[in-house]
A and B are shown apart, each in its own frame.
Chain A
């Protein structure tokens, strides 16, 4: 019953539709950029330079990888934060939290239900985005083998070449792996949602904290600080596109991300259970 109610509220909030539409728009823009760039590079318009890029490099799987990577680090965290940040703060702001807690429903149960619904939403959003980028890549560009070069998206230290079928299997593995990465942002937003009484503030501060940590984790000045930030591990799923997956590294980073997610969720639950509803 509680889950159904949360799903109903989510649907009525229109947040999922806004997220889906924005991601579709992003993919359309990416496709336009990818197509024009590939045309320029392989159509003889590029100024002479020594390069590894050629016509077979620009295929649908390369497009999907580019689109998913940038969507993952720059757009999906915003929607994860939007959904989770609004969960408890919006109930607090509209004072419906009093109504909900008046029912025979524990705070623990309510929190876990909202967390589970947000996680389910995130899982579907990531899967949908990945599927749509692959579909667009197939229809508009055409698939082929996936070639990854050192420096490109900073994914590998040596040239990697995956046959099409193997690359598609890796994209499938990326789905749960990327969802786990975004679970940290979602948990952080849930935590802030239990502290802040206004959903706009909860979402805004979650996005701001994410961006600050992301920027810090990208700058070499913070070499010693980087391992301590969850944003440094977020895109760990890129290792899944290596010919020989470095499982030790993948599992290590996944566990670190899981640790952050559990920590934020634990703190959020503690705060939610112990706070006093006023007003």
Chain B
């Protein structure tokens, strides 16, 4: 009889220990990362947005004309200084966006057919060009208002003689500007993604100017998810990400997923010597129809 009681006690103890462990473990669980709020950007911060506005229907299609008004309304609410868009269908769509957002925007759309990348800036001066033969890659220089420019962007480079323009040439014509690459990497080939991401990273790295790389990179080296369900070469995607992360800082790190299904595909990378990250994350609840990406927003403070 005594042994029966001991057995019952031991059982109870084990069940109690299980319950206590579960409760304590659950209480220590960290909450999911907060999504980006829509407060105005801090004084002196550059607000940057990247958004793949395409849809998932028919294996992926550009922005539908019926959604332009909603996209414009969301972008107006975000109050960004610089917007990178992927999967824009036509010049007409980007003109409509500018018009609906108040008109004081400069915009650029990559040349080509089908799904294209584009960008918009609200203040300052934008110079952009498409990568030859690639409607999914834009390289731009953006000269923002002076208070949004990192100090090192207008300081002489070592050996710069200043007046003779040598320094300007050494910078590749990007003095007082931010150099920006907007990229929509291939969705189906890890090899093509590796080539485009690596080439963009190398291209940016050639210049000492403040640098941003924005876009839908279609890679997700997540912490606890099997990526091989989505990639034809998981390891190559890991290599692509790390090649880029060694050169630029990932603003959206730890901010959670930006696309369906629970994947972080959209990125804002910045040169850490020129910017300080204030806040970044996806804005949730702004997908309509078959849209499958959230806008990813980052507030960057220029280092002065």
Contact = CB atoms under 8 A, between A and B. Distances in A.
A and B interact: yes
Interface of A: 49-53, 106-108, 112, 149-152, 154-159, 218-221, 223, 232, 248-249, 251-256, 258-263, 265-266, 269-270, 273
Contact of B221 (A150, A253, A255): A150
B18 A263 contact: yes
A265 B17 CA distance: 11
Contact of B17 (A49, A52, A106, A262): A262
B6 A265 contact: no
Interface residues of chain A: helix, strand, loop or mixed (majority): helix
A149 B238 contact: yes
Nearest to A233: B25
A248 B27 CA distance: 10
Interface of B: 3-4, 6-8, 10-11, 14-15, 17-22, 24-26, 28-30, 191, 194-195, 197-199, 201-202, 221-227, 229, 234, 236-243, 245-246, 250, 253-254, 261-263
Nearest to B7: A108
A104 B8 CA distance: 18
Contacts of A150: 221, 238, 241-242, 245
Nearest to B201: A50
Contacts of B194: 49-50
A214 to B, nearest CB: 11
Nearest to A256: B25
B7 to A, nearest CB: 4
A226 B289 CA distance: 28
A24 B214 CA distance: 47
Given A50-B198, A157-B223, A255-B28, A151 B237 contact: yes
21 contacts: A49-B198, A49-B239, A50-B194, A50-B199, A50-B201, A150-B241, A150-B242, A154-B223, A218-B225, A219-B229, A220-B226, A232-B224, A255-B24, A255-B25, A259-B21, A260-B18, A262-B14, A263-B14, A263-B15, A266-B18, A270-B11
Given A49-B191, A251-B25, 8 more contacts: A106-B6, A223-B261, A256-B25, A259-B20, A259-B21, A262-B18, A265-B14, A273-B4
Instruction: Please name the 3 residue pairs, one residue from A and one from B, whose CB atoms are nearest each other, closest first.
Output: A50-B198, A151-B221, A255-B25
Contacts of A107: 3, 7
Nearest to B28: A252
Contact of A249 (B7, B21, B30): B30
Contacts of A255: 21-22, 24-25, 28
Given A49-B236, A159-B246, A220 B261 contact: yes
Nearest to A235: B224
B237 to A, nearest CB: 7
A218 B227 CA distance: 10
Which residue among B28, B198, B236 has the maximum number of chain A CB atoms within 10 Å of its CB?
B28
A232 B28 CA distance: 16
Nearest to B233: A49
Contacts of A265: 14
Contacts of B242: 51-52, 149-151, 159
A216 to B, nearest CB: 11
B262 to A, nearest CB: 6
A160 to B, nearest CB: 12
A52 B239 contact: yes
A239 to B, nearest CB: 10
Contacts of A273: 4, 7-8, 11
Which residue among B26, B224, B226, B243 has the maximum number of chain A CB atoms within 10 Å of its CB?
B224
A42 to B, nearest CB: 14
A266 B243 CA distance: 49
B197 A259 contact: no
A86 to B, nearest CB: 22
A170 to B, nearest CB: 18
Contacts of B18: 258-263, 266
B239 A259 contact: no
Contacts of A251: 25, 28
A200 to B, nearest CB: 27
A156 B223 contact: yes
B227 A151 contact: yes
A138 B95 CA distance: 62
